[in-house]
Amino acid sequence: MTLRRRRVNRVATISVHTSPLDQPGTGDAGGMNVYIVEVAKRLAELGIEVEIFTRQTARDLPPVAELAPGVLVRHVTAGPYEELDRADLPGQLCGFLSGVLRTEAMYDPGHYDVIHSHYWLSGQVGWLAKERWGVPLVHTMHTMAKVKNALLAAGDKPEPGIRVLGEEQVVDVADRLVANTAAEAQELIELYDAPTDRVAVVNPGVNLKVFQPASKGAARHRLDLPQDAHVLLFVGRIQPLKAPDVLLKAAARMIEHDPALRSRLIVACVGGPSGNGLARPALLTDLAAELGISDIVRLAPPAPQDELADWYRAADMTVVPSYNESFGLVALESQACGTPVVAASVGGLRTAVRDGLSGLLVDGHDPDTWARALARLVDRPGWLDFLSANAVRHAVGFGWSETAARLAEVYAGAMAQRQWAPVAVNS
């Protein structure tokens, strides 16, 4: 039987623990925020309205805010008007669910065609909402506890059992599971027993209008960086998972091997403390002093996209030493600006970076290994130019419009399958 696909008119997007209005790079705001915002805007351009439900973290936030034409952000009261640690959020899910259900109750039945939840906490809310509304649940993990626990940074805390159980429950009930890469899809199938026919691979994208090549010299001038410097860039939340300490230790090794490099080397880190990194907010400052490289380390707060694009353009290479990434949007943004990436050979970074073509993939997290990889590029500007040209070619294959179009297909398929699902009849 051929499933007849209804048009998708309105999506309820659920993002409990972080708002799409938050600045990525600090707190719990990161690549997931970028994903939700960019996808919502592109879906709206396709004529699909998106309403994003997120927890209200301040009393003065409006109940509803327009993010873009066709995209609304609904602030749901659940718990105190303040940022909460993710470990405290499971206790607020009932209140959050109540707010979501009250919103839907204001409309005629069938107001939302599909629910798309992001991260396991949102999946728990989506699970109950889909049963109440009779619509399919599409879920994106973004990160998975079982994967993170297998690849922990030194001193990092494992994800708790409640999250593992919560993820398993969401996998069981979701009509579709969206994986960022084929490797993530395989992890869902092998680690969570996800049925293969319910897993769809949809690559994230990059905003090619913002992140594009432009003058390196002009970017360095705006950021007050020396024109002749070797700039190594880290962008992201400062936490053990992202491993910015690996970059600082590698830079120290580079100077040990070549003391003359100190006068021209700059390590720029753009981001703020997050997660387990909140326990040591001065980690990078302290580490730089301990390594004797405070003079070459430049720390900058999270930046809006236009300024972030300048940081990428100003850098010789962007360094992504994470212990795990479901995709690695930073790597894609950097390449779109023409800056090669040196990344850990883990997770989605193996898709986001073309090893030897748009950047380099490094096995493990040994600072000496990273120092050698970075020094090879610093010493070979011709190779950097080659990688730079191919980085742009690689990145233009990942546009958010393509991501949204593919997600719309996933939504329609889930709706069609639910429409034709057999109904049990009691005898």
C-beta atoms surrounding 79 within 10 Å: 16
395 labeled binding residue: no
119 marked among binding-site residues:
yes
Question: Starting at the edge strand that comes first in sequence, how are the strands of the sheet with 176-179 ordered?
Answer: 64-68, 71-76, 49-55, 10-14, 114-118, 137-140, 176-179, 199-201
Residue with tokens 């699970």: 127
| 399 Cβ contact list (under 8 Å, min separation 6) | 205, 206, 208
Alpha helices in 58-210 (DSSP H): 93-105, 120-133, 145-150, 161-173, 182-192
Q: Is 325 labelled as part of a ligand binding site?
A: yes
The span from the CA of 358 to the CA of 388, in Å, is 7
Residue 23 labeled ligand binder = yes
Instruction: Give the residue among 320, 323, 302 at the shortest CA–CA distance from 358.
Output: 320
How many whole angstroms separate alpha carbon 220 and alpha carbon 59? 40
Burial 142-169 (b: 16+ CB within 10 A, else e): bbbbbbbbeeebeebeebeeebbebbbe
393 is in an annotated binding site: no
Cβ atoms of 309 and 216 within 8 Å: the answer is no
Is 74 known to sit in a ligand binding site?
no
Closest CA to 407 of 172, 185, 203, 182: 203
Check the annotation: does 237 bind a ligand.
Answer: yes
Note the Cα 38 to chain centre separation in Å. Answer: 12
31: annotated binding-site residue? yes
- Is 379 a known ligand-binding residue? no
Residue carrying the six token digits 């990059």: 206
Give the 3-state secondary structure percentages of the chain, helix then strand then coil, rounded to 5: 45, 15, 35
- Cβ neighbourhood burial of 193 (10 Å; 0-12, 13-18, 19+): exposed
Q: Is 30 annotated as a binding residue?
A: yes
Q: Is 333 annotated as a binding residue?
A: yes
Is 32 known to sit in a ligand binding site?
yes
163 annotated to bind ligand: yes
Angstrom distance (rounded) from CA 339 to CA 220: 13
The 8-class DSSP code of residue 229 comes to -
Number of alpha carbons in the 13 Å side-chain half-sphere of residue 422 = 4
Does 143 count as an annotated binding residue? yes
Q: Is 244 assigned to a binding site?
A: no
The reply, when asked if residue 212 is annotated as ligand binding, is no
140 is in an annotated binding site: no
E strands, 105-262, in order: 114-118, 137-140, 176-179, 199-201, 230-235
Residue 216: CB partners within 8 Å, gap ≥ 6? 313, 314
Residue ranges of the annotated binding site for UDP-N-acetyl-alpha-D-glucosamine are: 23-24, 31, 237, 242, 325, 333
Residue ranges of the annotated binding site are: 17, 23-24, 28-33, 86, 119, 143, 163, 237, 242, 312-313, 315, 325, 333, 339
Residue ranges of the annotated binding site for Mg(2+) are: 312-313, 315, 339
Residue ranges of the annotated binding site for 1D-myo-inositol 3-phosphate are: 17, 28-33, 86, 119, 143, 163
